[in-house]
Structure 1
């Protein structure tokens, strides 16, 4: 029963708010627009302050390490691409043009690596 009364009050409050906004819009539209802009500006200012002082400070050490690793990886592979391009140009200039067969090149994923676990501490199944 309390829930039913609560929803009735919410509908009454929303109805009065809609009537108030409508009358304000019809009687003074420029003032209404100014009020909306001021409220939006204050909301953006408060959000910016909260983001700047609270949310931005919550960056974890793992995130910082990840960003650093990404930056190093980009730098490394950018240099490799420029080296490949310069060496391939030098080879093309020195060698005569021959018909080449397309070779299927096996691509490795250099950004993936195997992490060795604790292999020496395996339990001997026969001792159970």
Structure 2
């Protein structure tokens, strides 16, 4: 019963607002348009604030794991990169062709596998 009274109250409130807007539109159009622009601007500011503080920071679980893995790999291999740069500059002067071949065959072994939503393989022999 409380819900029914509440919904009736909301409908009456919305009806009065529509009547007030229509009356304001026909009697003083300039102030109506100004009020409309101000209401839209305030709504946009409120939406922007809610988005900036609450909705923007949400990340899917996979993205969180990926960022964590990238951060760990940067910390772990920070010193190795500096050593590789100095060694690679010295070897480039000696054998640039050999260096290019090694770069194409090297794999990024420091990357971490992130568990995802993998579908189970169907047993095709059972069909």
Q: Same fold (TM over 0.5)?
A: no
User: Larger relative CO (CA 8 A, sep 6+): 1 or 2?
Assistant: 2
Which structure has greater helix proportion? 2
TM-score of the aligned structures, taking structure 1 as reference length? 0.41
